[in-house]
Structure 1
Amino acid sequence: MRSWSIISRLGPPSWRSGCSALALALPMLSLAAPADAQAQPATGEAEDQAIVVTGSRLGRGFEAPTPVTTVGAVQIQDRAITSVAELNYEIPQLRVNQNVGRSSEPVGQNQIDLRALGAARTLVLLDGRRLAATSPFGGIDSNVFPVALISNVDVVTGGASAAYGSDAVAGVINFGLQKDFTGLKLDASYGVSRYGDFNRPVISGAAGTSLLDDRLHLEIAGDFYHNTGQTRQAARPWGQNSPILFGNPLATSTNSQVKNYIANNGRLFATLGGLIVGVNADTNAANGVDVLRGVQFGTGGTPQSFTYGSPANNTFMLGGDGASLEDDGNILPDIKRYSGYGRASFDISPAITLWTDLLWSRVEVNSDLAPNIDLGATPLTIQRDNAFLPTSIRTLMTANNITRFSLGRVNMEDGFSQNNSKGRVLRYAAGLNGKFGDGWEWDAFVQRSDNRFRQESVNNRIQTNWFNGVDAVIGANGQPVCRINADASTANDNPACVPINVFGAGSISQAALNWYRGTSWYDARMTQNAAGANLRGKPFATWAGDVSVAVGGEYRHETIDSVSDALSLTRSWRSINQQPFTGKLTVKEAYLEAAVPLAKDMAFAQNLELNGAVRYADYSSSGGVTTWKVGFNYNPIKDIRLRGTISRDIRAANINELYAGQNQVLNSLTDPRANRPSPSYIILQLTGGNPTLQPERADTKSIGLVLQPSFLPGLNASIDYYHIKIDGVITAIPSQTILNNCYVSNLQDSCALITVDPNTNLISKVVATLVNTQRSETSGIDFEIAYRRRLSLLGAEGTVAARLLVNYVDKLALTVSGLTTSYIGDLATDYSGQPHWKWNYDLSWTTDKMRLGAYFRYIGSGKFRSFYVDNVDLPADQNHVKGRGYLDLSASYKITDFLEIYGKVDNLLDVSPPILPNAITQPTVANSQMFDKVGRYYVFGARVRF
């Protein structure tokens, strides 16, 4: 177990932090505040808890030079936060990263991403100890965390590899669970949006007792959470009108038209009954296009006139009779969580405590995705002798010497695809804590994590069965049969093949559906065996005070073993085709940290302290690496503290990044070539691991100022500058970037990753597997203030508290092959961007009986795509996105000492998100997780404690 250093004792955990900054309401807050307000205890359950946060392993009483931000149990309770996805909004340095539509990854997965450097560069700890990956896609899905059991969330916003190990490049976030709870408590709440959807029941409870003269303590807790999700975009005013990101077919390299623009009334170049979208003719192609253009198939396969939208590209048209699936796109997935936790501790002696704990969590996620579609670069090919082709069309084809044509069709008979997943986390551990001598402390633990994950893609399509069934002819018996069973060859026969009629909506039979439709699946088991020990104390003193040291080591052995269905192995499904893989990784680490006081109560320094840490880690995949950190604390006077750190941080590739098999992604990309057949269309992209990856190397610098003025008791303020540069960064280069690097920047290493179909001249595949690229870099400023005073307001005595958190990002860029792309202000989800400005302001008034709170969250302005050139790639007024501010109100009241009721309203003003559609066949209208998409949301609940 790790010991967290004490940073502040200004009040309950909702207002503690290692860094703070300017309060907006200082004039109001200072009114009638008693001079001794700081010394008065805060009301609430947490007033007697030790206020401790991460940042160092040196133990209690040490102020780490690394900036730390904390969200405490009181803040979680007062804001009625029930999932870590909600908690992400409380800390501006975090980038919200919840997958709501990428079918290649588990929908609903929420990973914590500090500094927008990628979730893999944020070390996530639960009770100070690592977890095994929660899915084979890598990382920790924070949905598994039982928020009702969390006592505090501590965020170290800076490189911390030397103290905590690999992955802590951007920082560390630790979720502390409740311990030593005595009594019984229950909490139940229900949330619902103003639209009557997004129902969210939550219930949690905990019980604890002490026995054997308080030497034995037992605790058990659990919670249930359900967010019904699955709400159609069209249920919101902003989600209507079918807006799409439209690739402009009229744009050329010689005219001034933009390459893309956001347009309403987007329609697919396909219909539910089928639309002839092109002719593949042996002769007379021009005449063939003319005679078949504008033919769609209505009820019963009847040919009908089709009205085209204008303009039109390979995938979309604006207006016309094409189908649209956009209204049915989900805002968020359906997420259900069950969690349980148990802990026992026993004081073997006054100096030694034995403990054991167990965490179990199960998360189920369900989401509807677009049905199977044939259009763009992959339409259906229909032969002239097709068994179900209407006679009038066959006659027309014969007269014009047309042998085949392409058909665009949305196959609603298949039903909406479903991307469902189930994850289970099981972690159990045991350990010893002890003390000896003059202030020496030690701890040791062993731990086992055994996590399971299953993903299913329901209503997926077996491609070979589908195409064989569609290619039906009239057999010798005068009935439709699959061509493979009617041709001269017997080698390709399949008696089970069912002919498929694709002409007209609802024309596909149940027998045909059974033939080509199915469920692909993927199972994985992730394990981690870990053991560690730490020793800390004060071996000697200098002229300025005690020298503090901490030393320790950790061992981890991680494995992953995944399997998938037989058809995925041969890439036979239309989508996903997740490839199984196995892998193992062993890590051995040892560290040393020390703090040396250099001055104390002197004329030039009230305090001056130097802090340093070094760690050696041996990875079975890449060998040994050394990380280090040097920092300082300097108080010229008691009220002012300067702090700074320089560190070398390391992140080795995880198991997923090393060994994951290639996965398929279907997405619309812009073809930047001058001779392109279409500006944008659906292109197959392959992602996956790379066993030759080398560790990333990061250099981090930070310097800050902390103010705790004695003339204004209760105020903490700070400002910190940070700069992180990562060399050899492990990343999957975005497929669009690969295309631009090849065809615009003429980078040949990117061209090698692209496959072009010689028959159609369309790009058919982009390989976007993980590689070590040159550099990722970010810099900015964190600013925080916390202020609290006792105050008489409206005739009642209480505590007024305010807190402001601000993050300003000055630089966020990725360099690949000498080309640097900035992601500052990139607000869309499919790229890792951040706006320049994000800030949160929290104001509350608390008495013995009541609490009133107001919370304001602001996400600054930015761009649809930071690398888009205004009026070239996108119109300037569409590429520039205005910021959004959200106001939440909350209140609670204690009816008795045992019963409290509470409620809140999130997004009181029902602020709509910006329209940022992504380029898929069922676009997500507001493709950014930074902005609220649910709308005004009400929560009501009650708490009981005995």
Structure 2
Amino acid sequence: MFAGGMALGATVASAQDTQDGAPAAPMQRIEVTGSRIPSLNTEGSSPVTTLSAKDIKIDGVRNAEDLMNNLPQVFASQGAAISNGASGTATVDLRGMGAQRTLVLVNGKRLPAGSVLSTAADLNQIPSQLIRRVDVLTGGAGAVYGSGAVAGVVNFILKDDFTGVELEANASGANHRQHNDEAAAVVAAKGYPLPGNRNFDGKRYDFSLLAGANFADNKGNATFFVSHRHTDALLQSQRDFSSCSLGASDPGFACSGSGTSIPRVGAFTPDASGNPRRYVSATDAYNFGPLNFFQRPSDEYNINSTLHYDISENARLYSEFNFHNNTTDAQIAPGGIFYGQQATIAYENPLLNAAWRTALGLTRPGQTVTVSVGKRNVEGGPRNNNISDMSFREVLGVKGTVGDWSYDVFGQFARVNHNDRSTGYFSTRLIGRALDVVPDANGNPVCRSFLNGSDPACVPYNLFKQGGVTQAALDYLSASGSTGGFTQQSVFGINIGSDLSRYGLKLPTAENGVGVSFGYEQRVEKLSYEPDYENQTGDLSGAGGASPAVAGSYNVKEAFGEVRIPLLDNMAFAKRLELNGSYRRSQYSTDAKTNTWGLGLDWQPVEALRVRGSAQRAVRAPNIFELYTGQSVVLAGPTDDPCEGSAPKATQAQCANTGLPAALYGQLTENSTNQYNGRTGGNPNVKPETADTYTVGLVIEPTRNLTITLDAFKLKIEDAIQSVNAQSVFTQCLTTGNPLYCGLIHRDQLGSLWLTTNGYVEAGTTNIGSQGTSGLDLGASYRMKLPHSYGGLDFTLNGTYLRSYTVENLPGTGSYDCAGLFGATCGTPAPKWRHKARLTWSSPYNFDMSVTWRYFDRVKNDMLDSNPQLAGELDTQRDDHLSSRSYLDLSGIYRFNRKLSLSLGINNLFDKDPPLASSSSVTGSYGNGNTFPQVYDSYGRFVYANLTYRF
């Protein structure tokens, strides 16, 4: 019914594709995502958006990550465009409530935690070539599927009954003309290199083989799939708008950078003669952007196999196995000694000349001075994190029918092994020794630790002349780190269901009987994260802080049930009226006990109109990370400290609220990177969070070929398990002096929140006040035949209006609304309107053509909001908003014959750049390259070709 392959209401396609693309016979029974009750129809009280294999081909995406990000109900999450802070996974976040609140299923069964770095499922485990369809339920389904389905469920239905052989080859990449005149002008003015036009970069290649056959007189089927995908790196230096880190400078942008740059000692840096001169941030700052990855390189292998065999007409034995291995590199600019490192320099240091001693105030032997120092390790190259995740998952079960009862009994085991290795770092432990330099008996510079024998390997690191770094010093300071670990999931479940008509459970006003489903599941989750010494102690300079080891497990036993009660059928103003309910009782080994329920009503007063609504109570218990991660000080603090510098933006009274002594006002060292410390970690005392979800919708079919859906949604999470927002805490303390907030701010002995690990803002896991969202989903589908046998046109629309996106950071302190905003507190853009519209021409000439319009509404900087929890002082009005974006995609498929087809397409046809903001406003985990590449098209025009051969 929904043309073009995109179902926009609570209905999924009732036919599946065969090998040659022709419709197969309708399925007799379909399990709808959101319910386990077998049904002859697929309508329900909660909205389900369905994407078919045809949609995937038209979109031109070759991974589940990009497929999901194209939906307006999905917010930015971990993915290939993240380098600094990458987990190596790709996750999906429905409604922006956090990826940990979206449950990902494959054929109705859970995926495990994707990594020891992220408890959310890794979409990289799901090859796009194998997807038959994707069901996205955004009405909440905690009672049906359990914890993790707070915001909704994404269910990937994979091909499991294939016959024949199918080969696919795909090549894609970016074709980009550098045309951002504003950014290019500031890059050129700074003297940085500008890239030329790119014909084909950021390339991706994949190859796959799908084979299957029936056996035992068609009682069984075995399907096998194998694929390899390679992705090239894309550097920020390859786009003009990301060739430097943009900074605030009215009336427009300017290139900024990091204060950790050329050798810097206090307020001085060496000139060409080795004498001190004043450090000038406008000219001496380091341009860290070009070496950062805009797209991480990766190599990925997938192996999937499915097998089913009908033991009898009442029992089918089935098995699913998948293996996945993904290796990727996350590269960022070189590390080194980050400015703010405290070093004690003695008058006797032989690396000093007279000018340096005078500049540092060293006037007599025996005198020392402690100053901030810094030096970017350009000699050693960029920092790199090589991440490898290997997973396997096995499901074994038997399902069938006994009389009128259906059943499914299964066991499932999944494990993800993780390894990563970080290189290009200095050892924080050794930096102090390499900077503490004294003369030996012959007056040569040596480390004090070398002279006294405490560290015979120490080599002096020379900050007092350009080119003073020796290879021996570099070798001494260089450090690397590694982490390992695994996540593991075991599930046993049984589910039975039936239509109870034969038992007389049918209302006289209804044609169908009461449907029921109930079952039991037992699940065990384990996680072990094992960082080495360097990572556990935070010894890697510039790695963001210490990474404590984490180990833990829990199990949960759950009983659940559903009921569907047809109330009225084929009566006046009630062609159909149906009530459904669900309930789940969960008992965790952590002593948490939760009750989850759902109610829904589906009313069809006339043929052309359906009214549906649901109410859901979801309860999510804390996961292993949220319970057991140790406390550590890392770069998770606020994004600005207006009390820094010789002319602070905040008043002395405001800074005093944050714990700054009056004597240090106007004396704080400025942080050029806008990165401050937060103390993070788990909390064994957090209690489960509860979420209430409400949906009310209309499905309107005024004509046979037109369907319109309208679904209003409201979701609110109480006692949300979340890290405290450090920026919000700092802003509230600064402006109000509220001790509830100010008690969470700890300045170090230097008055800073970044120079030492004693300065930080509390940002650990707790039950924050609340988090919620509301809005309206709009869907439309229209099909028409063209005259003169020219084929047909299919139109589909999927849009979301975001009415509110609220957060109450601490209980009882009031909330703020991030709908239509981005910035220091709200982070990733939350457009009030997003849509995806598609027009497809199905021609009679073995050729189909589609044009797709993707739209993102304008978003405003959160500092311009009137809410005092958000309001702040913008450094430049150029950061006041991110402009709206419209992207047009063009695709076509030509079928040479029943065996061979070719798909070609161009996404972002007009090569539009993403909207830009300065680095102080592009904050959060998903900001990169002066924009948000997990939200907007950031690589330029994207060209792809796919060749499929079946035999």
One fold, TM greater than 0.5?
A: yes
Note the 1:319-338 alignment, pairs <5 A. 319-338=282-301
SS of the residue corresponding to residue 542 of structure 1 reads: coil
SS of the residue corresponding to residue 636 of structure 1 reads: strand
- Structure 1 position 647 matched with structure 2 position 616: yes
Deviations 1:862-912 (A, max 9, x none): 123367567833555522221101011001111222111111111111111
Question: 65, 69, 77: which one pairs with 1:89?
Answer: 69
Deviations 1:406-455 (A, max 9, x none): 333222123110122111110011111111213x2111110000111122
Note the 1:29-108 alignment, pairs <5 A. 45=21, 47-48=23-24, 50=26, 53-62=32-41, 63-98=43-78, 105-108=85-88
Name 2:269's counterpart in structure 1.
Answer: 296
Name 2:110's counterpart in structure 1.
Answer: 130
- Structure 1 position 815 matched with structure 2 position 815: no
Q: Distance in 1 between matches of 2:729 and 2:68?
A: 31
CA RMSD of aligned residues (A): 2.8
- Structure 1 position 370 matched with structure 2 position 346: no
Name 2:860's counterpart in structure 1.
Answer: 863
SS of the residue corresponding to residue 334 of structure 2 reads: coil
Name 1:235's counterpart in structure 2.
Answer: 238
Judged with a 3 Å threshold, the aligned counterparts in structure 2 of structure 1 residues 74 and 99 are, in CA distance, closer, same or farther, namely closer
Shift of 1:758: 2.4
Note the 1:14-29 alignment, pairs <5 A. 14-19=5-10
Judged with a 3 Å threshold, the aligned counterparts in structure 2 of structure 1 residues 874 and 717 are, in CA distance, closer, same or farther, namely farther
Name 1:203's counterpart in structure 2.
Answer: 207
Question: 841, 849, 852: which one pairs with 1:845?
Answer: 841
Q: Distance in 2 between matches of 1:728 and 1:765?
A: 24
Judged with a 3 Å threshold, the aligned counterparts in structure 2 of structure 1 residues 380 and 227 are, in CA distance, closer, same or farther, namely farther
Judged with a 3 Å threshold, the aligned counterparts in structure 2 of structure 1 residues 100 and 686 are, in CA distance, closer, same or farther, namely farther
- Structure 1 position 415 matched with structure 2 position 381: yes
Q: Distance in 1 between matches of 2:730 and 2:251?
A: 19
Note the 1:428-439 alignment, pairs <5 A. 428-438=394-404
SS of the residue corresponding to residue 473 of structure 2 reads: helix
Shift of 1:745: 3.1
Name 1:765's counterpart in structure 2.
Answer: 760
* Residues 864 and 916 in structure 1, CA contact (< 8 A), matched pair in contact too: no
Name 1:625's counterpart in structure 2.
Answer: 594
Shift of 1:368: 1.2
* Residues 587 and 619 in structure 1, CA contact (< 8 A), matched pair in contact too: yes
SS of the residue corresponding to residue 786 of structure 2 reads: strand
Shift of 1:232: 2.6
Q: Distance in 1 between matches of 2:946 and 2:784?
A: 28
SS of the residue corresponding to residue 676 of structure 2 reads: strand
* Residues 778 and 811 in structure 1, CA contact (< 8 A), matched pair in contact too: yes
Question: 532, 550, 559: which one pairs with 1:565?
Answer: 532
Name 2:735's counterpart in structure 1.
Answer: 744
- Structure 1 position 937 matched with structure 2 position 942: yes
Letter in 2 for 1:932: D
Gaps of 5+ in 1: 1-8, 22-37, 247-259, 279-294, 309-316
Name 2:698's counterpart in structure 1.
Answer: 705
Q: Distance in 1 between matches of 2:82 and 2:744?
A: 22
* Residues 702 and 720 in structure 1, CA contact (< 8 A), matched pair in contact too: yes
Judged with a 3 Å threshold, the aligned counterparts in structure 2 of structure 1 residues 84 and 558 are, in CA distance, closer, same or farther, namely same
Shift of 1:928: 4.8
- Structure 1 position 444 matched with structure 2 position 448: no
Note the 1:241-320 alignment, pairs <5 A. 242-245=245-248, 263-272=253-262, 274-278=263-267, 295-298=268-271, 302-303=274-275, 305=277, 308=280, 317=281, 319-320=282-283
Name 1:780's counterpart in structure 2.
Answer: 775
Name 1:925's counterpart in structure 2.
Answer: 930
Q: Distance in 2 between matches of 1:466 and 1:261?
A: 41
Judged with a 3 Å threshold, the aligned counterparts in structure 2 of structure 1 residues 516 and 376 are, in CA distance, closer, same or farther, namely closer
Judged with a 3 Å threshold, the aligned counterparts in structure 2 of structure 1 residues 382 and 934 are, in CA distance, closer, same or farther, namely farther
Judged with a 3 Å threshold, the aligned counterparts in structure 2 of structure 1 residues 888 and 266 are, in CA distance, closer, same or farther, namely same
Note the 1:791-802 alignment, pairs <5 A. 791-792=786-787, 797-802=790-795
Deviations 1:390-418 (A, max 9, x none): 45423555675784343332221231101
Shift of 1:474: 1.2
* Residues 269 and 279 in structure 2, CA contact (< 8 A), matched pair in contact too: no
Gaps of 5+ in 2: 176-197, 644-650, 653-664
Deviations 1:553-593 (A, max 9, x none): 11101111221112333332222532111100101111111
* Residues 53 and 133 in structure 2, CA contact (< 8 A), matched pair in contact too: yes
* Residues 276 and 355 in structure 2, CA contact (< 8 A), matched pair in contact too: no
Judged with a 3 Å threshold, the aligned counterparts in structure 2 of structure 1 residues 866 and 890 are, in CA distance, closer, same or farther, namely farther
Name 1:519's counterpart in structure 2.
Answer: 480
SS of the residue corresponding to residue 394 of structure 1 reads: helix
Note the 1:578-597 alignment, pairs <5 A. 578-597=547-566
Q: Distance in 1 between matches of 2:19 and 2:414?
A: 38
The normalised TM-score by structure 1 is 0.87
Deviations 1:519-563 (A, max 9, x none): 211111111110111111111311113111111111101111221
Judged with a 3 Å threshold, the aligned counterparts in structure 2 of structure 1 residues 602 and 819 are, in CA distance, closer, same or farther, namely same
* Residues 569 and 575 in structure 2, CA contact (< 8 A), matched pair in contact too: yes
Name 2:725's counterpart in structure 1.
Answer: 734
SS of the residue corresponding to residue 515 of structure 1 reads: helix
Note the 1:476-495 alignment, pairs <5 A. 476-486=441-451, 493-495=454-456
Using the aligned pairs only, state the percent identity.
29
* Residues 104 and 663 in structure 1, CA contact (< 8 A), matched pair in contact too: no
Q: Distance in 2 between matches of 1:75 and 1:460?
A: 44
Letter in 1 for 2:763: A
Q: Distance in 2 between matches of 1:783 and 1:599?
A: 28
Q: Distance in 2 between matches of 1:442 and 1:426?
A: 26
Letter in 2 for 1:594: V
* Residues 84 and 332 in structure 2, CA contact (< 8 A), matched pair in contact too: no
Q: Distance in 2 between matches of 1:722 and 1:655?
A: 30
Q: Distance in 1 between matches of 2:15 and 2:88?
A: 45
Shift of 1:244: 2.2
Letter in 2 for 1:340: I
SS of the residue corresponding to residue 503 of structure 1 reads: coil
Letter in 1 for 2:24: D
Note the 1:525-540 alignment, pairs <5 A. 525-539=486-500, 540=505
* Residues 631 and 680 in structure 2, CA contact (< 8 A), matched pair in contact too: yes
Name 2:348's counterpart in structure 1.
Answer: 385
* Residues 85 and 96 in structure 1, CA contact (< 8 A), matched pair in contact too: no
The normalised TM-score by structure 2 is 0.87
Name 2:572's counterpart in structure 1.
Answer: 603
SS of the residue corresponding to residue 302 of structure 2 reads: strand
Higher relative contact order (CA 8 A, sep 6+): 1
Q: Distance in 2 between matches of 1:20 and 1:140?
A: 25
Q: Distance in 1 between matches of 2:15 and 2:934?
A: 41
SS of the residue corresponding to residue 197 of structure 1 reads: strand
Letter in 2 for 1:878: D
Q: Distance in 1 between matches of 2:594 and 2:339?
A: 48
Q: Distance in 2 between matches of 1:214 and 1:381?
A: 80
SS of the residue corresponding to residue 413 of structure 2 reads: strand
Q: Distance in 1 between matches of 2:161 and 2:353?
A: 76
* Residues 578 and 663 in structure 1, CA contact (< 8 A), matched pair in contact too: yes
Judged with a 3 Å threshold, the aligned counterparts in structure 2 of structure 1 residues 505 and 206 are, in CA distance, closer, same or farther, namely farther
Q: Distance in 2 between matches of 1:903 and 1:54?
A: 32
Q: Distance in 2 between matches of 1:165 and 1:130?
A: 10
Question: 496, 500, 514: which one pairs with 1:547?
Answer: 514
Deviations 1:605-627 (A, max 9, x none): 11111111111111112421111
Question: 573, 582, 585: which one pairs with 1:616?
Answer: 585
Matched length: 871
